[in-house]
Structure 1
Amino acid sequence: MLETGHRPLHLLFVDGNTREQRANYVRDYGATPAEAYAAEITAIAPGIVSDICLPADEGANLPDGDGLESYDGIFLTGSALHIYDIEPAVTRQIELMRAIYASGTPCFGSCWGIQMGCVAAGGTVVANPNGREVGFARRIAPTEIGRGHPLLAGRPAAFDAPAIHLDTVALPPHGTTILASNSISQVQAAEIKHDGGTFWGVQYHPEFSLGLIASILGRMVPSLIAEGFRKDEAAARDWLEDLRALDAEPGRQDLAWAHGLDREVLDAARRVTELRNFLDHRVRPCASERGRA
């Protein structure tokens, strides 16, 4: 919460998507990924001042080292790009992440964000040989270190979380502490220390509402069928309608039971546990240390 007499937190949201990808979000959901992310953080910490940068765009105005240091915290969104595809939309983001590490500004990344944090520090990301996680990452289990780490404070011994990804961290960089894993991805949550900076990230999407998940999966129906997640288009559409219904009425026990979802996903406050922990344990303390709070 924003305390009376304290200046608002100044946060940067780095949108990893191309212009076309952002337009798809706006068409289907009414907001870009960074705008939706900022709205989730605003719900946790009312009164924040947020900026958005678009490093996938050629000619984008990106903050330099001094600019990055001026922020209290930085959030990296997901992306439909693949970090192993060497193209300017990707390499610009890797260079920006390296600058974020060097700035020392607290940084958190979801999905593409943790992949960016990994590669910028010297790690490797590949298309997951275990396949895609669609809709939800199941049975995420904190490691022994993760059980005592503030990023996962409040999470149970196993939990599900919103997730949509094909790629995964294959070789974590030096300085990585793996905090959670599941049967699909070895690195579901991690802390990475590199070049004077500390990054916290997750392979899943605590910032995704069920409505946003449904809007993204609506563009993936052919893939859902081809990869065996749903039998046919009717089954896929029924699933998405159930997700939208749960988004509107999280108390629908019939739908929650049918899809194996519990309060870790359905309770809006519990879903964003990692985001709240990042604000409480990294952003606010660092802002105080820098004399900004």
Structure 2
Amino acid sequence: MKPQHELIREQQKLSWDKFSPGWKKWDQFNMAFLRPMGEAIIAGLHIKSDDEVLDIAAGTGEPGLTIAALAPDGQVTGTDLSDNMLSVARSNAEAKGIKNYQTVAADVCELPFRDNYFDAISCRMGFMFFPDMDLAAKEMRRVLKPGGRIATSVWSGPELNNWVTTIMSVIQKHIEMPPPVAGAPGMFRCGKPGLMKEVFTRAGFNNIKEQEIKGSVDYKSFDQYWEIMLDVGAPIVAALSKADDETKEIIRKEVGESFRSRNADGEAKLNYASIVIYAEKTV
């Protein structure tokens, strides 16, 4: 891995470790939000009862924990950069009584597993943050058995995801932020239709398909939306740390106005859109 990619990896590990308490706090909410993408991933993997499955960027455990329940005679291994996030995943597995689930702290670009080992691989909302997406895809293919399937999801473009742009667009009005470097890890890096298909094609996968999933997420209130985003949104917190208290209050007020303008009759919903990508290793 290139030195600049190693630096990004270490920065991401520190960030996810730092924000793991927020993800634990809002785990039930976030897992409900992300469930449609997890269900689509699982449906595309055709899980059998004795499958060995790798869940990459496992976070607090899903969809790996649900997969483990579908493969009682198999094993699910959840990997993530963050030991703290995996600690939450293990606690969730214990709370659910899931015995065939284990975690391994690992970098997707250097997976510590032998060739042709897993029957299936899941990866929900991880690819856009991998420093080297091509290397990550090649590593996934390496550890997947011939005939194995992979399914992953990424966010579509910002224009379809006002659950995050509602706050980020206001922050960018008041706080000077450097423009994103082309190809650098980021929320919408993989949102261009066909981009992930190109990545998987270069890695040697076959029978690649894409599916778009759209929906809305109910935050119940603006106050809860604001609290959640500051508890789990590392880029948001990093940006706000540059502002004085007066500017922060102005931002909060304007975000609230934008949030309420998107909702009629007192609702508190925002929209999301994602792309789910399916592929096979045929040889």
Q: TM-score range by the shorter chain?
A: 0.3 to 0.5
Structure of greater relative contact order (alpha carbons < 8 Å, 6+ residues apart): 2
TM-score (ref. length: structure 1):
0.38
Superposition TM-score, scaled by structure 2 size: 0.39
